[in-house]
Structure 1
């Protein structure tokens, strides 16, 4: 099976000792394309170096993570805008709103997200959204910006059916990862009611490893575990899920 990994922090320090081995394991598992979201200025070099080393497999996004939105976030935005003007990326991201750890920076996170929504439209790129403990706040800004040209993914989707239907109504996709395999993850009550065409697959590695690796370092080679869980919940063959999610990711991110 050919599976596209739509969200992997493969450039992170946790993979520094074994980038190549992780990529070999991914290829052996049928994961031949890996999309890498940026975090902030501190991750750009490592991400682009990995892309340059493995250009057939690794593809970079450019964005500012909401947890990196601080007092000088405007400088971060200028930097990412400069990068977007210099070379191609597969998406703007990851960006969004995160109120899990800290609610005091909400106005700055909102401003940063609005700016990145504008950049996604300006460069005709999909946007990859992080919405931890902040679905309503992020959804509101995306809906406000949606003029029929925006497209993208609500990454690490773990909300309910009502939220899923609102995402679909915006014309966006949902990124499904390891949470789908968790006993109390809640997606067993949502995914059976969602058409496969609205889903893409991701690991969000090194975070959120699927069962039976929960609590350990996640990696792209574990993506088939997510695929098989999605297939079981939808009552479909794994091959059908692989084919459909690959096609959706290729169209959304305009991959060759």
Structure 2
């Protein structure tokens, strides 16, 4: 059984003490595909090192995270562009809009989001969207940019059934992680109305650990708990869920 974690920050400082143990543990559980989203230029070298250490398992993205869109965002976008000329990446992400932490940067967040969508189209890459308290704003941008060459993953989807269908209409898979196991997560109440062909698995580790690890540091191996929950929701075997979601990830990331 091959399991794909489509979103894990394995280079995070949270793993500095036991990163190899975390990755080895996940691999032993069948998690053998780790897609690594970017945050900003300060993490570039640690991401490259991770890829060097685990070349058969780690697949890198590049991009500027919306919470790191600050006054120097144009310099950060230039860094992303420069990286794209140097090596291959599997996605532009994570990108998007976050209005939970800072609403004052909305306009430059939108500019950064649109710019990176255009980069994704230029390089024929998927995008991986971060959305927090910003569904309307995200959909506004996607509506402007929608096209056959716009596709990707709506990371950590926590919206309504209607918002799920809207995201899917823009050629987005829904990234489902620990929130599906939360009592107040809500998405578990309608997820079985979304065809599995639109779903990929993720952890967002070290964040959003699933039950029974909620509130603790998340790790890629905990994706097993998400797999178990989706097996229950869809009334399908864990093997089926793993196979279908991995195939969906291959359709997005082309590997």
1:59 alignment partner in structure 2: 59
Residues 169-208 of structure 1: matches in 2 within 5 Å?
169-208=169-208
Q: Distance in 1 between matches of 2:168 and 2:66?
A: 23
Q: Distance in 1 between matches of 2:91 and 2:158?
A: 21
How many Å apart are 1:143 and its aligned residue? 2.0
Q: Distance in 1 between matches of 2:77 and 2:200?
A: 27
Q: Distance in 1 between matches of 2:22 and 2:143?
A: 37
Q: Distance in 2 between matches of 1:4 and 1:111?
A: 31
Please list the CA deviations of residues 74-115 of structure 1 after superposition, one character each: whole Å capped at 9, or x if unmatched: 000000011011100010000100000110000000000000
2:75 alignment partner in structure 1: 75
How many Å apart are 1:172 and its aligned residue? 0.9
1:209 alignment partner in structure 2: 209
SS at match of 1:236: coil
2:130 alignment partner in structure 1: 130
2:92 alignment partner in structure 1: 92
User: What are structure 2's unaligned runs of at least 5 residues?
Assistant: none
Q: Distance in 2 between matches of 1:73 and 1:14?
A: 25
User: Number of residues paired by the alignment?
Assistant: 255
Please list the CA deviations of residues 21-58 of structure 1 after superposition, one character each: whole Å capped at 9, or x if unmatched: 11111011110010000000111111111111110011
How many Å apart are 1:235 and its aligned residue? 1.4
Q: Distance in 2 between matches of 1:117 and 1:190?
A: 29
User: What are structure 1's unaligned runs of at least 5 residues?
Assistant: none
2:230 alignment partner in structure 1: 230
1:158 alignment partner in structure 2: 158
Q: Distance in 2 between matches of 1:26 and 1:135?
A: 32
What TM-score results when the alignment is normalised by the length of structure 2? 0.99
SS at match of 1:101: coil
Q: Distance in 2 between matches of 1:180 and 1:167?
A: 17
